[in-house]
Structure 1
Amino acid sequence: MRIQFRHVLLLTLIVNFLCSTVAAAVERVAGTHVSLNPPPNFEKADKFPGFMREEYGASIMVMELPGPFDEYRAGIEDKDHLSTRGMRLLQKEAVRVDNRDGLLVHLSQVLHSLEFRKWVLLIGERDRNVMVMANYPAELEEEFSMILRESVLSTLWDPDQQVSKEEGLNFTLTESGSMRLAERMGNMLMYSKDAQVQPRSVDDPILIAGSALTDWPIGDRKEFSRKRLQLTATVTAIEIETLDEVRVDGLEAVEILAKAKDTDSGKEIRLYQMMVFKGQTYYLIQGMVSLRREDEFMADFQAMARSFKCK
């Protein structure tokens, strides 16, 4: 379950991502072990680790990902798999970045009737990887493609540097029971029993928490929460049992308890979701564990979700 979760999360995060020349100064990306040269006039993003030029809908996002390099490589160079996510592979090339072998791909994706282009860099060692993604409108390809490509290729990675996993995030959660912070992936935190980085089966609980990358026209909060639940990776046959409007940190929120089936094993699992809304953005907290162990962890899922606070 964990491998597929990482794989799908990786691909779904490449969906919401301009300028003149690459800046001379290397800047470390908050919450990561990565530094790079952002283009001029790009500001530090407040919703994800990276930089953005909001007026153009352009950004550079950094994610550190656990697991085998080849697994992620397969996910971003397989044309058929990318097409199922609405993406098209334009080119790929082997690169050498920061004395490491890596892969650089150029992608196209249509979002809300607008075409965007993406430069995606993947480098790794052992079971640690870095993905750097630059996004810009396709209509500005000539002006900005090569500049953002250079910025992505300026990546420096020091995986042994001491960095807080929560640095730069705009929210906090409090751990509960044996659930501990295990990993950070972009703007998302993953908690597991005793901080296992790679849970072995659906019997091992996982809770993720993160913020939306951009503002959204949310509308009806209950319906929005239902639709988001149906997008949950690695599960099928989702059945909502309870759906309640609550308040968390003084904000409107929707809490859902559901049953589902793990797509790999077919086992029934308990699915917990809390969505916290602030203006036109939202925060997602989602936990899952096998039905046979729900009594051990469901209270922790709920306690952690209700401990949510905006910074």
Structure 2
Amino acid sequence: MRGLLVAAFGCIFSVQAALAAEPVFPPASRVGIVPLDDMVMSKRFSGFENSEKATAITFAEMPPEAYDQLVAGLTKDALKRQGLAVTARENLKVGASSGLLISGAMTGPIKGRKWVLAVKGADMTALLIAQVQGGNDGYSEQEMRKALTSVALRGPVSLDEQISALPFRIGDRAGFRPVRVLSGNSVLLTDGPLDTVKAVEQPVVILAVSLAPPPPTTDQRERFARAALVSNQSIKEVAVERAESFRFKGQDWHETVAKAVDTASGEPIIVMQTIRFEADRYVRMVGIARVAQRAETLPRFRNVIDSIDMAL
């Protein structure tokens, strides 16, 4: 009898261990992992984190055709320019999927260790970025590798579910409709029948919540806003018409309106960038339209960002 009881308890514990090892998917995410001990689902981005150990694993989803281009761009020199000194690069299989795992040391102002995992699924590409800030008192190399290689991909999630999982709510879409959610913290909207806008055929709006605290002073925020605008590779020849900081609804804001050129098509465009700063995060809106649509679209862009309500 005792042997039967031991076997029964052993079976129960085995089942519990198996259940505990199941991948966990953030709301509306097609990417999941088996999180490490003490890691929790982030409320700031799609992924998991442990603030006490200064550790985060973020997820991003892309089309399947993006994998080859993504991997080709993850060169040692390119990553070095982005503050990652590569120490290891490995092609591997993750379940039935192919992947590339890169690890190295963070060389920017914030020191630590970093991992980049690209995974090619049947109908999507997943990008996982993990980092442990500081020394070696956080998770070990083996633990981080175990978490990353536990990645699992699931089937499509409805757009409505993805929008409901965003860390903000849009009170007034101003006639725009959502077409895509990115990285669990941003959404692309447009006005027109096309879901993919290639030559600014339709106005587009991108709303995103930051993953990091904003710059603390007004001068720093103005420089940050300028740098954010000109670093947008989809536009070029940026000529600022208006840039101003102001207080609205008890918060600090910065807004820029500029003329530019669409990089892909050469079409002259008008760009509005509005950033709403909070104590520990910021919301950024970028609206783009053809110059001829300026008068009707700029007020609508502003209506969208004015209506944002932070969900968390």
Structure 2 vs 1, CA of residues 142 and 245 (structure 1 numbering), >3 Å: closer, same or farther?
A: closer
Q: Is the 8 A contact 1:118 1:136 kept in 2?
A: yes
* Partner of residue 102 from structure 2, selected from 102, 105, 112: 105
Q: How does 1:1-311 map to 2 (within 5 A)?
A: 24-66=21-63, 68=65, 69-76=67-74, 78-112=75-109, 114-125=110-121, 128-137=124-133, 139-140=135-136, 143-162=139-158, 164-173=161-170, 174-177=172-175, 179-186=176-183, 187-194=185-192, 196-220=194-218, 221-245=221-245, 250-295=250-295, 297-311=297-311
For residues 105 and 290 of structure 2, what CA distance do their matches in structure 1 show? Answer: 37
Q: What's the CA shift for 1:195? A: 7.2
Question: What's 1:8 paired with?
Answer: none
Q: How many residues align?
A: 286
Q: What's the CA shift for 1:153? A: 1.0
Please, what is the CA RMSD of the aligned residues? 2.7
Structure 2 vs 1, CA of residues 127 and 269 (structure 1 numbering), >3 Å: closer, same or farther?
A: farther
Q: Secondary structure at the match of 2:181?
A: strand
State the AA in 1 paired with 2:189.
Y
TM-score by length of 2: 0.80
For residues 120 and 248 of structure 2, what CA distance do their matches in structure 1 show? Answer: 38
- 1:22-59 Cα offsets, whole Å, 9 max, x none, are x7353211231222111111122121011111133210
Q: Which has the higher contact order (CA 8 A, sep 6+)?
A: 1
Identical amino acids, percent of aligned pairs: 23
Q: Secondary structure at the match of 1:147?
A: helix
- 1:109-138 Cα offsets, whole Å, 9 max, x none, are 3231x3332222222346622112211136
Q: Which runs of 5+ in 1 are unaligned?
A: 1-22
Q: What's the CA shift for 1:249? A: 5.5
Q: Is the 8 A contact 2:56 2:130 kept in 1?
A: yes
State the AA in 1 paired with 2:61.
E
Structure 2 vs 1, CA of residues 306 and 83 (structure 1 numbering), >3 Å: closer, same or farther?
A: same
Structure 2 vs 1, CA of residues 280 and 192 (structure 1 numbering), >3 Å: closer, same or farther?
A: same
- 1:183-242 Cα offsets, whole Å, 9 max, x none, are 122122122334745322133433211111122332114444334323333323322212
TM-score by length of 1: 0.81
Structure number with larger C-alpha Rg? 2
